[in-house]
Structures are given as C-alpha cells and as structure tokens.
Chains A and B, each alone.
Chain A
Amino acid sequence: MTETSKPRQLRSDVWQTVNERYPGSMISKEDLVPLASLDKPLSEAKLTFISSAGVQPVGTMPFDTVHPVGDYTFRKVPSDSKPEDLEIHQLKYPTVGAIQDLNVIFPIERLQELAADGVIGGLTDNFFSFIGYNMDPEQMELKLAEDIADAVVKDHADIALLCPA
C-alpha cells in the first residue's frame, strides 16, 4: 500500500499531542527487532491476549487511574471469564462501546469461540491486562513489559495478540 492510500486514523496527531503535553512520556524507536517465528500451525498454537484497556476481574485491586505517574502493575484475567465477571478501570479512552459489549476492546468471547472452533490451538489460562496511560516509559519498558512477558512465558503461550487501548 502506498503512502498516499493509507487509511487515516480518526483522531489525528495522538503521539505529538501527548508528547507535547507530557514531554518524554511517549516512546519512539529507531530500530526494528528480529521477528520470532511460529514453528507450528495456528490451529495448534496457544494464544494469549494482552490489553492496556484496564479490564480486570471484579473484586481485584482496581488500577490506580489517578496516580500522577501511572500504575505499572498488571492483572491476570482468566481466559474462561465471562464479560460479566470483568470490569474496566481506565480513564483515557472512550468506553461507550465496551460498556455495552466488552468484546469491542477485550474480545474474550470471540477468542473463546476461535479456540472452540479449532482456528487456534487454545488459550493460555490467563490473559494479561494493564492501564496504558503511563507517564514513565522506562518503568513501562523495563518493569511492566518485562513482568508481563515473563508471566506470558510461564503460561506457555505460543503466540500473543496485543491491543493497546
């Protein structure tokens, strides 16, 4: 697809707007990392889902949505959860759709169906959830990303689908 025919994002200049308001809060990379390869068909691959939408099981410690620097913890979300078992603690994206149908941002039922249909080999016991509006990119990269990656390995994921809200 050529540069000129790229579809446009609905909200323009997200990176620049946030970076101007909170200097140094946005990550920018010059390099590309090598791709890991999948050594089995999708129909045999165990998938994990990682979301920054602030979705968490009812009754777990709510994400701290008002901390001035952010919340660098994550929650495990059992992959067999039903939408009514979950709630959202997040302030920074429109939840109008998610309140009606959580699957618009955390498609837990669709992923369960894809596993049941054999399109993917299965789901990890847990999905992983955090809030993405964090002001310290170093803590995000060096602590939160590493903590979640370690937890994903422990859950024997073959592939990961990520959705930054």
Chain B
Amino acid sequence: MQRALEARGIPTVSLSVALDVTEQIKPPRAVFLPFMMGHHFGVPYHKELQRRVILEALDHLVDAKESGEVKFPPLSWAKARKEGIAIKKALDIK
C-alpha cells in the first residue's frame, strides 16, 4: 500500500509492531514499536504517548534519507503499561 502511494508522489510512513513482517515487505519508511499487537499508539488514555508515537512517525517521514529505513524510538511496552495503569487510576477508570 505504501508503495502504491509513493508511486503517486505521496510520502508515507508506517508503524510496525512486527519487525519480521516489516523486514520482509520492506516499506519505504517505517517506525518499529515494541508494543502489543493492536496497540501501536500505546495504551488507553495515555494521550501524551499516543501523540509522541505519531510525532516520531512524522519526524521519520521528513528525516529518512534512504528507502527501507526503519526507526527505533526508545520506547518500552512495560513503561507504557505502567504509565497507563497510573493514568487510569488517576481517572478512576478500571
């Protein structure tokens, strides 16, 4: 899909939680997140993390020099979950 868009002159960036799949399909630009499937932008109610993931991707769209370049932001699922639990507790959500 990214290839079809780049061919039409539209720069693209994708998010991946499966690096092996990314390495097989070689998208033009990708950002790898060591997160759970279905949770590419982080955890519920963690607006700051969700926004950061998008900004990491947009920076990569602008900065990537070579096709196939994968970016590895220094994020961890354990930390995201921990922060998410604290946010939910503060919001009084189970």
Contact = CB atoms under 8 A, between A and B. Distances in A.
Interface string B1-45: 111111111111111111111001110110010111111111111
A99 to B, nearest CB: 9
B69 to A, nearest CB: 9
B61 interface: yes
Contacts of A6: 19, 32, 72
A53 B40 CA distance: 11
A163 B51 CA distance: 14
B85 interface: no
A35 B11 contact: yes
Interface range, B side: 35 or more
B7 to A, nearest CB: 7
Contacts of B61: 38, 159, 161
Given A14-B21, A160-B10, A163-B15, A35 B28 contact: yes
Given A9-B17, A28-B25, A159-B12, 16 more contacts: A11-B18, A15-B24, A16-B20, A27-B25, A32-B26, A35-B67, A36-B11, A37-B11, A93-B38, A94-B39, A111-B54, A145-B4, A149-B1, A149-B7, A160-B11, A161-B57
List the 7 shortest-distance A-B pairs measured between CB atoms, nearest first: A101-B44, A93-B38, A149-B4, A162-B14, A100-B44, A32-B67, A14-B18
